[in-house]
Amino acid sequence: MHKRVVITGVGVLAGNGKGKEEFYQSLREGKVGYAPVTLFDPSDLSVNIGAEVKDFDAKQYFGPKGLRLLDRSTRLLVAASKLAIADSKVVITNRNTYKLGVSVGTTLGSLKSIAEFDEVTLKEGPRYVNPALFPNTVINSPASQVSIWNNIKGFNTTISSGFTSSIEAFNYAYDLFHLYDYKVIFAGSVEEMCFHTYYGFYTLKYLSGSKEGTSFINCPFDKRRNGITFGEGACLLAMEDCKHARRRKAAIQAEVLGFGYYFDPFRISKFNPRGTGMKEAMRRALNNAGVGIRDIDYICANANSTPAADKIETEAIKEVFGKHSYEIPVSSIKSMTGECYSLSGALAVAACIGALNEGFIPPTVNYKEKDPDCDLDYVPNQSRQARLNKILINSFGPNGSNSCMVLGRYNP
């Protein structure tokens, strides 16, 4: 039997806002979250810009005890869980804990902990590492800590599929509602800003301004775009069985309508120029949600300010939506949050929940120079008031993963 799945809580920490109210306000105002990096010393690099979660103090979210052995990824995600639980007003007890779950998509979250643990092992020997720090080196540690800190004893899983991980974590949770009798699942993602991840993207010349002769700019769909702006943060949403949410009179913020996935491997770190996976993922999401192209009021794009990705996504949208594509607003919140890898999809969903409830379309900021290959309505520079009913959220990765999600206004 089909179950309706709704969202009753949002916990978000991003470069341009901590907590959903601040995050939504920043999106409405077109406020960017990136600035010179402070978490490590980037002085030897030609680029020093990143979207950090500024002034983050975990003690504000879950007290001072037990923090010493938790890395930044875990602290961010547990903080997001506290925000999501508070927003949803879910009360976790020994009676209902086995009906709750955690589903997290992350890829790079443990890299700093792994590197530092291995550095001590190599320099001093394995007998000299602190064994208490070992749990941080496994990728499912942040998700596990969410369950530990909140006494959630249902399922707990971590999905790692690169850029699309968080949308797939939502999809996994959605499927489990239909397979088992779960009542609430906290689903989302986390990625941490550290030298190791930043330098990796820098070395590969993915960062804006890292290629010789270029300077930093974050401008999705704009002709001047030349690479990503790396970001971090955490986001967990309280996904809930609709009947359970109504029974406890929860404030329902959105409804999950469907998903689409298509794996389209082409080349290592290169999108298929034909956009086959992007197009099929969008079509499958629409079909799974039972909606047509004219039902979509807004597309929250994957665009991350790289020349190929933004162009291919534009062409894919035009093929899927036909002439109607010119009538649908399309924007990229990555122009404000940066490219947060696995987390970006979750931030997009959180942004779209705010758009549905507060009646606005987030802008694509820094848009100045039109690219003839990108000719849709990108909501340039200023948010737009609008009553939205159904939103398509795109999340694509250059190694073949393509995931989409359809989110809707809740109608009883």
Whether residue 252 is contained in a domain is answered as no
Q: What is the pLDDT of residues 92-127, one digit of tens each?
A: 999 999 999 999 999 998 889 888 888 888 888 888
Q: Which of 247, 272, 292 is the last residue of a domain?
A: 247
Same domain, 329 and 397: yes
Identify the pLDDT of residue 1: 64
Q: How many domains does the chain have?
A: 2
Rounded average pLDDT over 130-153: 92
Looking at the fold, whether 230 and 300 belong to one and the same domain comes out as no
Tokens of 301: 């794009």
**Pairwise CA distance, residues 293 & 300, whole Å:** 14
> Does residue 358 share a domain with residue 242?
no
Note the pLDDT tens digit of each residue in 20-58.
999 999 999 999 999 999 999 999 999 999 999 999 999
pLDDT at 238: 98
Tell me, yes or no, if the pTM score tops 0.75.
Answer: yes
Q: Are residues 240 and 280 in the same domain?
A: no
CA atoms within 13 A on the CB side of 220: 31
Q: How confident is the model at residue 303 (pLDDT cuts 50, 70, 90)?
A: very high
Based on the fold, state whether residues 148 and 272 are members of the same structural domain: no
Judge if 263 and 362 occupy the same domain. Answer: yes
Q: Quick one: angle between helices 72-88 and 111-124, nearest 10?
A: 150
Q: Residues 272, 203: one domain? A: no
Q: Is residue 131 part of a domain?
A: yes
Distance between CA atoms of residues 40 and 194, nearest Å = 7
The last residue of one of the domains, among 247, 281, 305, is 247
| Structural domain boundaries enclosing 327 | 258-408
Confirm whether 108 is domain-assigned. Answer: yes
Q: Give the integer Cα–Cα distance in Å for 220 and 307.
A: 9
CA distance 321 to 175: 27
For the chain, what percent of residues have pLDDT higher than 90?
A: 89
Same domain, 183 and 230: yes
Question: For the segment 172-212, what is each residue's pLDDT rounded down to a tens digit?
Answer: 999 999 999 999 999 999 999 999 999 999 999 999 999 99
Six token digits for residue 409:
């206004």
Residue 392's CATH number: 3.40.47.10
> Which among 247, 278, 302 is the end of a domain?
247
Q: Does 253 reside within a domain?
A: no
Residues 221 and 333 placed together within one structural domain of the fold: no
343-360 pLDDT, tens digit per residue, is 999 999 999 999 999 999
Q: Are residues 332 and 367 in the same domain?
A: yes
Q: Are 267 and 243 contained in the same domain?
A: no
The answer on 269 and 240 residing in a single domain is no
